[in-house]
Structure 1
């Protein structure tokens, strides 16, 4: 349990804050089109909850809260494994406009925590594996640890946070 920081200006776009703002600004005559509004904290929390559920993780009593003024998501529930807990954290942390994730997930099967690694320019999973495990061929460990969030080992981006399992 704890708090994790993420780069809020990058990541998957699951809600369109900028699009709504630009649309409002580009409408010269506000009476012609409905004003776009900032998504509610509850609607963002619902989208984040759905994103975790799409990961098919074993977490019961899962709840997500979101505070738009601080761009902070808070998750709670009971995870079967440490891996499920960590995957939930990175699933919502790697979303644009989420700067922090407060983790209140209890774990049934205690295990060592993975390292959280922020992708830098020039990184590949092979390069990260070489640094962490001493062998570029171990990249698949990192790829598997981040599925289904990662669909291809060659599709990572700068600022993305990945789980790096203990060797």
Structure 2
């Protein structure tokens, strides 16, 4: 997927007393969220996080990148994750459809945004906010708890 830019000063702080998260803290965050990848590695250099391994699906891949990037002190995530052979997103009917499935769009929350407002912008219907909420679980715990600078998956 490449490089993803994030708002360095937004997001949850990990650890104690330092703005720079460690690879161990970032791996623990991904594990805590129930996200997984085979041979999962995280490297941190300054404010750039490099992640590699094999994700079981495109959805898991995107969520891992967002979980790492939406941490205070992370400005970029270099995604070197690959997809497991035959990996299928939840909506794909066949493995062939999974390989052709497009990546999600991403949106950075601005001041005053709500999931309903973002839903109206992308889908033309503010009542479809639940699709965005579900696409960002477990990183989002409640539809009303988003913050400026946070990046969201838009399926």
Scaled by the length of structure 2, what TM-score is found?
Answer: 0.86
Q: Does 1:138 align with 2:128?
A: yes
| Structure of higher CA gyration radius | 1
Note the alpha carbon deviations across 1:127-165, whole angstroms, 9 max, x for none.
100110111111000000000100000000001000000
Q: Which blocks of at least 5 consecutive residues in structure 1 are unaligned? A: 19-38
Q: Which blocks of at least 5 consecutive residues in structure 2 are unaligned? A: 88-98
Q: Does 1:128 align with 2:106?
A: no
Note the alpha carbon deviations across 1:46-102, whole angstroms, 9 max, x for none.
10011111221241111000012xx00000010111110000001010011100000
Q: What is the SS of the residue equivalent to 1:14?
A: coil
Counterpart position of 1:2: 2
Counterpart position of 1:64: 42
Alignment partners' CA distance in 2, 1:66 and 1:112: 28
Counterpart position of 1:155: 145
Q: What is the SS of the residue equivalent to 1:73?
A: strand
Q: What is the SS of the residue equivalent to 1:64?
A: strand
2:57 to 55, 77, 81: 81
Alignment partners' CA distance in 2, 1:55 and 1:10: 18
* Aligned-residue RMSD, C-alpha: 1.3
Alignment partners' CA distance in 1, 2:63 and 2:80: 14
4+ residue segments displaced more than 2 Å: 108-111
Alignment partners' CA distance in 1, 2:18 and 2:11: 13
Counterpart position of 1:92: 68
Counterpart position of 2:13: 13
Check the 8 A contact 2:30/2:36 in 1, yes or no.
Answer: no
Residue correspondences, number: 140
Scaled by the length of structure 1, what TM-score is found?
Answer: 0.80
